[in-house]
Amino acid sequence: MLLYLRLLKESLSFAINALRNNKLRTLLSLLGVTIGIFSIIAVLAAVDSLDRKISKDLSSLDKNTIYLIKFSFGPSEIPQWKREQFPNVKYDEYVALKNSLNNTNQVGYQLFVNHETLKYDSRTVADVNIVPSSFEMVDIDGLSFDKGRFYNESESNSGSAVIVLGYDIAEGLFGASDPIGKNIRLYGQRFTVIGVIAKQGAGFFGDSNDTSVYLPANFLRRMYGDSDSMTPVIVLKPEKGVDMDAYKAEVTQKLRAIRGMKAGEMDNFFLNVLSGFTDFIDSILGQLNVVGWIISGFSLLVGGFGIANIMFVSVKERTNLIGIQKSLGAKNRFILFQFLFEAIILSVIGGIIGLLMVWGIAFILTKALDFEFVLSFGNIILGTTLAGLIGLISGILPAISAANLDPVEAIRTGM
């Protein structure tokens, strides 16, 4: 054990001397390892951060939630021209499904509309995400509140002029004062504030609840009817443990019956299951991981050649010293491990530089953007291990050549 500790100490000393005496050559040799480790860990850290953000954004939602709409959330085999002919879902269909579906926890109705500007006295907030919806969306979206409440079934059905504000919207309009009971203007109408949603943070899937407001969908339907400028969606939350294939078949059968569709006629709607969407996102993240590994692999290959090159030069420069060590009784494995450890240490130094670069960029981006980039402990261990493996593989041939030197020839060569 003491022998190996001594080897590590001497190898670390030789590696530091190599860096000190041949700075440019050594840094250029380590550049490949540094770039390779940086590329791999940067991609993995970015994917981990995205995955963590997606999981956080979807944590309040049931992955079996179904979005019934005329559009597909993912790739579809149906031609675009055909999809554009599909009719919008209707409020009456929402009511019919709500009253007839089995094994259903909640059925909600929501409209996708343009962003608008809100006003309170002299204050305005622009580019606000408007979410006209039925009262069930408070449970489907898993909303929690900083102040007040969500609108109830009576207010939802009658289309009352009440509104629930996102946290940032409430701060922008009212500052530190209590907004509950105050009137704001939207669509040229007055709305009474009845609730403020708890702060969520930036959302990965577009608008965050912090910059959104909820109001009864029937208020807009009363003003504009079922206008083509608004895209409706029926949101279904099945009970836990339900057979999803059977549930989707029941929804399909009932909606086809409501629309009077004939047997053999193609469905003119899409059942977008949230779990399918997340699986699609996961597959994209997996592909990013693979691409990152392929690109980084070339950098690591170049880095490995760089480490091997500097080790062969190191063996040549220390041939005389190797001969003296062998003549004094140093065994081949001592010489072998000495150069192997030196190669590993050099490579790990390059890997640590790459990890520090990832950490620095992640820190800067987290501060600059409303998004948390995370360099996990697992990725740090992976980067260090990869760097060590590159050093081991790259240093094996130079180490073997050093260990196999004849002591007499080595001393004579160095004279």
Same domain, 91 and 212: yes
Residues 255, 355 within the same domain: no
Is 255 within a domain? yes
Asked if the structure places residue 67 within a domain, the reply is no
Instruction: Work out whether strand 66-69 and strand 231-238 pair parallel, antiparallel, or are unpaired.
Output: antiparallel
CB-CB contact of 200 with 61 (8 Å): no
> Residue 157 class from Cβ within 10 Å (0-12 exposed, 13-18 middle, 19+ buried)?
middle
CA geometry: angle 47, 166, 57, nearest 5 deg: 20
Q: Is residue 279 part of a domain?
A: no
Could you tell me the residue range of the domain that residue 119 belongs to?
87-268
Is 277 part of any domain?
no
End-of-domain residue from the set 234, 268, 302? 268
- Per-residue pLDDT of the chain in tens (415 residues, 90 and over written 9): 666 676 667 666 766 666 666 667 677 777 777 887 887 788 778 777 777 776 666 555 557 888 999 888 777 788 888 888 888 999 999 999 999 888 888 899 999 999 999 999 889 999 899 999 999 999 888 888 999 999 999 999 999 999 999 999 999 998 888 999 999 999 989 999 999 999 876 554 556 788 899 999 999 998 888 777 789 999 999 888 888 889 989 999 999 999 988 888 888 888 888 765 566 666 777 777 777 777 777 777 777 787 787 778 777 777 777 777 777 776 777 777 777 777 888 788 888 888 888 888 888 887 777 667 777 788 888 888 888 888 888 888 888 887 787 777 767 765 5
Q: 248 — phi, psi (to 5°)?
A: -65, -35
Domain C-terminal end among 219, 240, 268? 268
Say if residue 46 is exposed, middle or buried (CB neighbours under 10 Å; 0-12, 13-18, 19+): buried
294 in the same domain as 234:
no
Total structural domains within the chain: 2
In a domain, 37, yes or no: yes
What confidence score (pLDDT) does residue 170 get?
92
Same domain? For 201 and 343 the reply is: no
Q: Does residue 76 lie in a domain region?
A: no
> Is 300 within 8 Å of 76 (Cβ atoms)?
no
CA–CA separation, 134 vs 218, rounded Å?
Answer: 8
Q: Which of 212, 216, 175 is nearest to 192 (CA)?
A: 216
